[in-house]
Structure 1
Amino acid sequence: MTVSRFGVSLEKDLLNALDQYVKENYFSNRSQAIRQLISRNIVEQKWQCNNQVAGSVTLVYDPNRREILHQLTDIVAQYHEEIISTQRLILNQSKHMEILAIKGVANRLTELADKLITIKGMQHGKLAMSRID
């Protein structure tokens, strides 16, 4: 792959943030970090369209809050065609992690993830997808 060079002007605060990002993510230089940030942004933009993608939704929640489990079950039933599998991990008595493997049209999977992540009381939620077409 051919590499092209170009100059970038950044405010001092943004440059400091970039350098911190390089350090925290163990990039060997700023160029690697910028390439990764641009690539991730392009992939995330593609999520909002009709591309075929596969991915996962990771959720962390308190299983003792029954309303979370009921809503989770209802949403999963609505999207049964997009959900390939689910796995529930018991982290401790008050914290479970659920991982849903998903496949389908990007905007539909984003909609699914948004519904799951925004369930009242959900402690953490994360969507990850990759284009497959």
Structure 2
Amino acid sequence: MGVIRFGVSVPEELLEKFDRIIEEKGYVNRSEAIRDMMRDFIVRHEWEQGDAEVAGTITLLYNPDEVDVVKELLDLQHEYIDEVVSSLHVHMDEHNCLEVVIVKGKASRIKEIADRLLSLKGVKHGKLVMTGTGKEPV
């Protein structure tokens, strides 16, 4: 795969802010930072299309004392057995548990799983983080 050079026109102030941020994050140069942003843009677009094969994590913070939340979390993971790859359960304290569910499948199906898990009564906070599967070059 070859490399293509192209020019981009941006306001000076925007470029100065960009340079400060990429330096803070440890990028060696602008090109690598822009490549990472382009990859992220492509992965997000594929996720939004719904048919793309994606992987991700669903992170949930919940109160295990809430009636039926633990049973419902497990039942939903079993319902989506083809998409749920693994999960990690951590006891944060006596009233808070953290669950990380690793998922892989069609983007629309993964979003459906996340919506169902995140909306359970007793879930205090959560987030779906998506990425590609690595099969497609980005």
Q: Which TM-score bucket, shorter chain as reference?
A: 0.7 to 0.9
* Kept in 2: contact 1:60–1:125 (CA 8 A): no
Match of 2:102 in 1: 101
Distance in 2 between residues matched to 1:132 and 1:27, nearest whole Å: 22
Match of 2:116 in 1: 115
Question: What is the correspondence of 1:29-48 to structure 2 with a 5 Å cutoff?
Answer: 29-47=29-47, 48=49
Question: What is the correspondence of 1:49-128 to structure 2 with a 5 Å cutoff?
Answer: 49-66=50-67, 68-69=69-70, 72-73=73-74, 75-119=76-120, 121-128=123-130
- Identity among equivalent pairs (%): 32
Distance in 2 between residues matched to 1:114 and 1:53, nearest whole Å: 16
Distance in 2 between residues matched to 1:24 and 1:113, nearest whole Å: 32
Where in structure 2 are there 5+ consecutive unaligned residues? none
* Kept in 2: contact 1:51–1:131 (CA 8 A): no
Q: Residue 89 of structure 1 aligns to a residue in which SS?
A: strand
- Of residues 106-115 and 62-71 in structure 1, the stretch that sits farther from structure 2 once superposed is 62-71
- Of residues 123-132 and 34-43 in structure 1, the stretch that sits farther from structure 2 once superposed is 123-132
Match of 1:26 in 2: 26
* Kept in 2: contact 1:57–1:113 (CA 8 A): yes
Match of 1:129 in 2: 131
> Matched residue pairs, number?
133
Where in structure 1 are there 5+ consecutive unaligned residues? none
Q: Residue 124 of structure 2 aligns to a residue in which SS?
A: coil
Which digits, 9 at most, give the CA deviation of each residue in 1:57-92, with x for residues without a partner? 222333344475465345435423321222211123
Distance in 2 between residues matched to 1:17 and 1:71, nearest whole Å: 46
Distance in 2 between residues matched to 1:105 and 1:22, nearest whole Å: 32
